[in-house]
Amino acid sequence: DEDARLLLAAANDDFVEEDEVIPPVVAILGRPNVGKSSLVNRILGRREAVVEDVPGVTRDRVTYQAEWAGREFTIVDTGGWEHDAKGIHARVAEQAEIAADLADVVVFVVDAAVGPTATDEGVVKLLRRIKKPVFLIANKIDDFNQEPEAAALWSLGMGKPYPVSAIHGRGVADFLDDLMEKLPEHSAYGGMIPSGGPRRVALIGRPNVGKSSLLNKLAGSERVVVDNLAGTTRDPVDELIELGGRVWRFVDTAGIRRRQHMSQGADYYASLRTQAALEKAEVAVILLAVDERLSEQDIRILNTAIEAGRAIVLAFNKWDLMDEDRRRYLEREIEQDLAHVEWAPRVNISAKTGWHKDRLVPALDTALESWDKRISTGKLNAFLGELVAANPHPVRGGKQPRILFATQVSARPPRFVLFTTGFLDPGYRRFITRRLRETFGFEGTPIEVSMRVRE
Ligand code: GDP
Mean pLDDT of 369-389: 90
CA–CA separation, 176 vs 166, rounded Å? 12
Q: Which atom of ligand 1 is nearest to the CA of 319?
A: 23
How many whole angstroms from 348 Cα to the centroid of ligand 1? 14
pLDDT recorded at residue 59: 45
Q: Is there an atom of ligand 1 within 6 Å of 209 CB?
A: yes
Supply the pTM of this predicted model.
Answer: 0.70
The string of DSSP letters for 134-167 reads EEEEEE---SGGGHHHHHGGGGGSSS-EEE--TT
Which has the higher per-residue pLDDT, 307 or 260?
A: 307
Q: Is there an atom of ligand 1 within 6 Å of 415 CB?
A: no
How many whole angstroms from 250 Cα to the centroid of ligand 1? 18
- Backbone phi, psi, residue 266, to 5°: -60, -40
Does 256 carry a binding-site annotation? yes
pLDDT recorded at residue 78: 72
Does 211 carry a binding-site annotation? yes
Burial class (CB in 10 A: 0-12, 13-18, 19+), 365: middle
Q: Is the pLDDT of residue 205 over 50?
A: yes
Q: Which atom of ligand 1 is nearest to the CA of 351?
A: 23
Q: Which atom of ligand 1 is nearest to the CA of 349?
A: 23
Confidence band (pLDDT; 50, 70, 90) for 25? confident
What average pLDDT does the chain have?
82
Q: What is the pLDDT of residues 92-101, one digit of tens each?
A: 666 777 676 6
Q: Are strands 25-29 and 239-243 parallel, antiparallel or unpaired?
A: unpaired
Confidence band (pLDDT; 50, 70, 90) for 130? confident
Q: Is the pLDDT of residue 227 over 70?
A: no
Instruction: Give Cα 139 distance to the centre of its chain.
Output: 29
Type of residue at 283:
V
Q: Is there an atom of ligand 1 within 6 Å of 290 CB?
A: no
Does 81 carry a binding-site annotation? yes
Q: What is the pLDDT of residues 323-335, one digit of tens each?
A: 998 999 999 999 9
pLDDT recorded at residue 15: 41
ipTM (interface predicted TM): 0.93
Contact 368, 199 (CB under 8 A): yes
The residue nearest atom 10 of ligand 1, judged by CA position, is: 208
Q: Is there an atom of ligand 1 within 6 Å of 318 CB?
A: yes
Q: Is the pLDDT of residue 44 over 60?
A: yes
Q: What totals of helices (H) and strands (E) does the chain contain, helices first?
A: 14, 17
How many C-beta neighbours within 10 Å does residue 97 have?
A: 17
CA–CA separation, 40 vs 26, rounded Å? 11
Does 205 carry a binding-site annotation? yes
Does 30 carry a binding-site annotation? yes
Q: Is there an atom of ligand 1 within 6 Å of 274 CB?
A: no
How many whole angstroms from 177 Cα to the centroid of ligand 1? 46
CA distance readout (Å), 100 to 78, 141, 142, 237, 366: 12, 28, 30, 10, 35
Does 34 carry a binding-site annotation? yes
Q: What is the pLDDT of residues 153-184, one digit of tens each?
A: 999 999 999 999 999 999 999 999 999 999 98
Q: Is the pLDDT of residue 232 over 50?
A: no
Confidence band (pLDDT; 50, 70, 90) for 17? very low
Q: Is there an atom of ligand 1 within 6 Å of 43 CB?
A: no
Question: How big is the chain, counted in residues?
Answer: 455
pLDDT recorded at residue 254: 75
Q: What is the pLDDT of residues 294-305, one digit of tens each?
A: 999 999 999 999
How many whole angstroms from 171 Cα to the centroid of ligand 1? 49
In sequence order, the 6+-apart residues with CB closer than 8 A to the CB of 3 are 419, 452, 454
How many C-beta neighbours within 10 Å does residue 197 have?
A: 14
The residue nearest atom 19 of ligand 1, judged by CA position, is: 210
**Of 69-83, 96-110, 258-272, minimum mean pLDDT range:** 258-272
Q: Is there an atom of ligand 1 within 6 Å of 207 CB?
A: yes
Does 216 carry a binding-site annotation? no
Closest CA to 431 of 449, 445, 417: 449
CA distance readout (Å), 180 to 56, 221, 363, 422: 34, 44, 42, 44
How many whole angstroms from 288 Cα to the centroid of ligand 1? 11
CA–CA separation, 98 vs 416, rounded Å? 37
Q: What is the CA radius of gyration of the chain?
A: 25
Q: Which atom of ligand 1 is nearest to the CA of 256?
A: 4
Q: Is there an atom of ligand 1 within 6 Å of 215 CB?
A: no
Contact 252, 280 (CB under 8 A): yes
Q: Among 203, 208, 259, 357, say which to mutate for ligand 1: greatest number of ligand atoms within 8 Å of CB.
A: 208
pLDDT recorded at residue 16: 41
